[in-house]
Structure 1
Amino acid sequence: MSPLWQQKKQKEFCLGNGILLSAYSPLGAVGTIWGSNRAMECEVLKEIAKLKGKTVPQVRTNKGNLKLDYLDLYLIHWHMSFKKRSEGDKEYVFLPMDLSSVWAAMEDSYPMDLSSVWAAMEDCQRLGLTKSVGLSNFTCKKVADILSIAKIPPVVNQVEMNPLWQQKNLKEFCHGNGILLSAYSPLGAAGTTWGSNRVMDCELLKEIANLKGKTVAQVCLRWAYEQGVSVIVKSFNAERMKQNLEIFDWSLSEDELKMIHQIPQRRCCRAEKFVSEDGPFKTLEELWDGEFDLQ
């Protein structure tokens, strides 16, 4: 019994009758008169071994670089894989040392084997390398794909979320499956390669902020907080850091929430650079499973 001779009917019959199946030659019995090296040379098994073998060592490296005994949370950041590249004596996967060329290697991308990678993520949690495992930038369909194979389900899905991209369907789906949604770019990520000032320049948000004596940023953060999601926001400005924390002693009215709910929806982070004839996703429709514009 091996991946190349799985004995499905025999297994079903024996287990159905309380008989334990004992497998011999799980590796193909290379070197015997009846065996072969077909199992050990199977390209599918080699690829799975390669993918599964990357994740645990990478977590060990990451926690070592951070000088931590363990990580609180480890995520699959994007639902695709990239070949390892080098720059001088440095090695990297996808993100080069020169960030100006960050999108330069779509020919190095290939479909992620979610089953193998998620199994390795679960191994990381079992080994105590991380307390929890999760996802990032996963659509409803891709989260469902993970849930269909997971023994340890993801605890979080980190995605773009703000008043101009409210993730209504994804929030409902994730919360219905016990997965916390974590909002990145809650202010629109102006100044980044993927963001814009559309959120901070939204006239409705400005009106609400003026009426409440708050900043637009505070209105956005309070809105996200009231959606029951965690919020990722950063600033290097001490006054803005203080303002970001001053959102817990007031609330948005029902009318204000309804008006925000009606704002036309469009992603900031559309990730067009991930769409390529050379990569696993040929269109935005494929990349986002249709979840990339008006909801």
Structure 2
Amino acid sequence: MTDKTFKLNTGQDIPALGLGTWQSEKGKVKEAVVHALKAGYRLIDGAYCYGNEDEVGEGLAEAFKAGVVRREDVFVVSKVWATYNTRVELGLDKSLKSLGLDYVDLFLVHWPLLMNPEGNDDKFPKLPNGERDIIRSHNHVDTWKQMEKLLATGKTKAIGVCNYSKRYLEELLPHATVIPAVNQIENHPALSQQEIVDLCRDKGIHIMAYSPLGSTGGPLFSAEPVAKIAEKHGVKPAAVLLSYHLARGSTVLAKSVTPERIDENKKLIDLDGEDMKLLNDYSDKLTKEGKLQRFVYPPFGIDFGFPDKS
């Protein structure tokens, strides 16, 4: 499945499967990137906030030098962090320097808020009481206007957003002269976020799914429909959860630094209509019962408009 792609609204092809690097163990990211590229992965997802773009860059450089892959054949993603949402080009420049690249293929707004750019920490400034130091007067549309200007610099080929709810997208789109190419969101059967997926499809915004297994340890592996489909196809539950996104027309990010798991994660399957009905019914049931599971929600103290958190 590493050669399957989708078409963005920019005309670019984006791989259906990518290597995620969030929370990857320090000292192992470089080798993970090299191994993934050797194994056929062509999308590497990173972010300034992850604190490991130097290692990602080292892995890319090694793979390019060894002739494993050419720069133009790898889709590299980075994100502007919340302390740089009024200085997005500076945020991009910092990532490019760490990555050792002249451009990224996609640059995303990591979260639609502004943390104090002049606070007591570059990434996580805090107030004296320990809360996040957030500039609540900031409008996320202003960040997007800066993102649009990046396209003329050649430092990114496309721009998009992360963690945008339907409400936030509906606030943004009337003011956008460039429609986001991607919305990267937490997505899995226990958090299908169908209202966002449907809106994005309608507007030509591609969904990129993170935390597709739920979270560390794969809490969704034992979900009844996942286990049932895995048994039917003779595959591991992870293959079902990753394949779910391809069936939905979304790109999925599989995070690992273990060579065996990186190899295993590319062994995806074609889920049939019966499989998807089982998974969709499971999502609908959790929604009706108010039992949706969101595993990634930093303590910003802001209502981002997600129904399960509002």
Q: Which runs of 5+ in 1 are unaligned?
A: 1-49, 97-102, 192-196, 276-280
What CA RMSD, in Å, does the superposition of the two structures yield over aligned residues? 2.6
| Letter of the 1:243 counterpart | E
Which position in structure 1 is the counterpart of 2:191? 165
Structure 1 residues 268 and 204 mapped into 2: Cα distance closer, same or farther (>3 Å)? same
> Match of 2:111?
78
Ranges in structure 2 where 5+ consecutive residues have no aligned partner:
1-82
Following superposition, the deviation at residue 107 of structure 1 comes to 3.7
Describe the shift of the 1:272–1:130 C-alpha distance in structure 2 as closer, same or farther (beyond 3 A).
closer
Distance 1:95 1:133, change over 3 A: farther
The answer for the alignment partner of 2:96 in structure 1 is: 63
2:278 to 246, 259, 265: 259
Asked whether the 8 Å contact 2:119–2:125 carries over to 1, the reply is no
Q: How many residues align?
A: 219
Is 2:149 aligned against 1:149?
no
Compute the displacement of 1:204 (Å): 2.2
Alpha-carbon distance change, 274 to 55 in structure 1, aligned in 2, over 3 angstroms? same
Residue 106 of structure 1 and its aligned partner are, at CA, apart by 1.8
**Structure 2 counterpart SS, 1:181:** strand
1:127 shift after superposition: 1.5
Aligned runs of 1:248-287 on 2, under 5 Å?
250-263=269-282, 264-265=286-287, 266-269=292-295, 271=297, 273-275=299-301, 281=302, 286-287=303-304
Cα deviation code 1:39-62 (max 9, x no counterpart): xxxxxxxxxxx9886122222222
Partner AA of 1:93 in structure 2: K
Paired residues of 2:84 and 2:90 also in contact (CA < 8 A): no
SS of 1:258's partner is: helix
2:249 aligned with 1:228: yes
Supply the AA of the counterpart residue of 2:124: F
Shift of 1:177: 0.1
Using the alignment, how far apart are the partners of 2:133 and 2:201 within structure 1?
36
Identity of aligned residues (%): 25
Q: Secondary structure, in 3 states, of the residue corresponding to 2:105?
A: strand
Partner residue, 2:157: 131
Over alpha carbons, which structure has the higher Rg? 1
Residue 95 of structure 1 deviates from its aligned partner by 7.2
State whether residues 85 and 93 of structure 1, in contact with CA within 8 Å, keep that contact through their aligned partners in structure 2.
Answer: no
d(CA) in 2 for partners of 1:66, 1:182: 21
TM-score, normalised to structure 1, is: 0.67
